[in-house]
Amino acid sequence: MLSGAAKSHQSVLAIPQSLAQWQSEPGQVISWKPCASSLESFARAEIVDIPPSHQQEQHLLSFQARHTKKTDFERLIIVRWQLPGHCDIKSLTDAIHFHLHSHDTYHSWLSMGEDKAITRRLLDNPATIKLEPCHEGWMNAEELITHLAQTPPPTEWGCFQIGIIQTTHFFTLYACIDHLYTDSFLIPILHQDLVTSYKLLTHGAGILGTERSSYLDYCKQQRAFTDGLSPDHPLMAQWLEILKQWNGALPIFPLALGEINHEDPAVMQSLSLFNSVESLAVQKAFKQERIPFVFGLMSALAVVEHQLTGKQEAGFLTPISTRKSKSDQNTLGWYTGVVPCQAALGSRPWSDVARDLQASFRRNRALADLPLECVLTRATTDDIADSGHQMGYMVSYMDTSFPPLHGDFSNQYWQNNSSVFMNVGSSSQVALWFTRSPSGLSVTASHPNTTQAVTSILGLVAEVRIHCLELSHRASTRS
């Protein structure tokens, strides 16, 4: 998600790693599982006329397709924190219930029939959701990875796991949530609901109340908006025009990826671009041209791609949150949309490319409110090269100095030795997550599991670093 380019953009702190990279000391594992009465309540819950969001529908369809082919599917967001001492089970149980009862994304169960129709069963009383601690025994890191990978699928209610790993002097609290329930705003929200609430409860204080929105209301509003769209609606027409400029297909990563086996899981690798001093020097170079850091960085990426491949236009998708209100910012749900970004390349100065990317983002910002899934499924064969469900080249930027990442949350996040993980699914495309923090700038790349893809990513990142440091050197000689 973009942040830092304008105060209206909200992002979340996430330096994702592959679940396979999980490292933790062995310890006693306790997980909180739904009580039988809670599962029975969902089975009896009334079917309601609240559709899934487009994001949720595509998630379920994609899961079903991958499950049928027995291929891996990227669906889990895992956050963990390290807390001192021995866990107060009662306090953590209360914090978990507070979290689950506060967000209506958990209050219903989406199921898919053989005809791919999706129904939603909704609880009358969220307080009937109750979890109980279950002792899982002693686990090492490898066993914990297997445990998390066995999180129930999104076709079942309760496709999440919350638990702890208790060691002698500290415990690791983890939450593993299926994407069906949420986007990556999960990270600050979980920190507030679980970690902060736990600390307050163990010190005899009460949990802080927070104004929330309703994700179910968002689902209804989104569908009401998209159901009424005609092909000549300005947003639909704008999306289709961009797809036309991209020859009817989403943009792809321009460097070679090698021969891809679509059934193989993707690979994630995290790389450091700049330390804190280098990051500030690069920022100074961008600032001399009055260019926000995010668009200076994306310009560097685009210019280097041109140098390596000769491509004449930068094109990628960038995810942003479509949350509008302050209460939305505190609400769990899948609100993420994507914005297409474009700029002509050739021999143009990097600063011109950066300004064009910034203008493109601003011009296309409203397209995030029209889900790409909706556009692709409604487009005709004259508009797109394939029937849909394509995967495009994704570039994301996050900055921990902007809300809701800055201040107390950012400080506590690092103090609690927090980490973010994702399970990795099969992929034929590339996603890049750039994250700027007090320690500098890093990038995590998800890409196909080929030697050529690894070489291309490493080469690209190395050249982006060289390009930016050259800009900072030239800027320093002018100042």
Residue type, 444: T
Task: Give the rounded distance of the alpha carbon of 443 from its chain centre.
Answer: 14
Report d(CA 54, CA 294) in Å as an integer.
Answer: 28
pTM score > 0.85 for this model? yes
Q: Which two tokens stand for residue 453?
A: 């893809």
**Within 114-262, where are the H helices?**
141-149, 186-190, 197-202, 215-227, 234-245
Q: What is the pLDDT of residue 361?
A: 98
DSSP string computed for 101-149: HH-GGGSEEEEE-TT--EEEEE-S-GGG--EEEEEEEEE-HHHHHHHHH
Strand partners, 84: 170
Q: DSSP letter at 35?
A: -
pLDDT tens profile 91-150 = 999 999 999 999 999 999 999 998 999 999 999 999 999 999 999 999 999 999 999 999
Alpha-carbon separation of residue 101 from 29, 80, 299, 325 (angstroms): 24, 21, 44, 21
* Cis preceding linkage at 26, omega within 30: no
Contact call for residues 405 and 321 (beta carbons, < 8 A): no
Per-residue pLDDT of the chain (479 residues; tens, 9 = 90+): 544 333 333 333 446 788 999 999 999 999 999 999 999 999 999 999 999 999 999 999 999 988 877 677 889 999 999 999 999 999 999 999 999 999 999 999 999 998 999 999 999 999 999 999 999 999 999 999 999 999 999 999 999 999 999 999 999 999 999 999 999 899 889 999 999 999 999 999 999 889 999 999 999 999 999 998 888 899 999 999 999 999 988 999 999 999 988 778 889 999 999 999 999 999 999 999 999 999 999 999 999 999 999 999 999 999 999 999 999 999 999 999 999 999 999 999 999 999 999 999 999 999 999 999 889 888 877 777 654 445 789 999 988 776 555 556 556 655 667 889 998 887 778 999 999 988 899 999 999 999 999 999 999 999 999 999 999 999 998 86
Contacts of 108 (CB under 8 A, 6+ apart): 45, 48, 50, 120, 121, 122, 123, 157, 216
In this structure, are strands 27-34 and 46-48 parallel, antiparallel, or unpaired? Answer: unpaired
| Angstrom distance (rounded) from CA 421 to CA 114 | 32
Which DSSP state fits 253?
A: -
Report the amino acid identity of residue 412. Answer: Q
Nearest alpha carbon to residue 186 among 104, 79, 324, 60 = 79
Residue 425, CA distances (Å) to 71, 72, 404, 429, 445 in order: 8, 4, 28, 11, 13
Report which DSSP code applies to 196: I
Give me the count of residues in the chain: 479
Lookup: tokens for 83? 């807390």
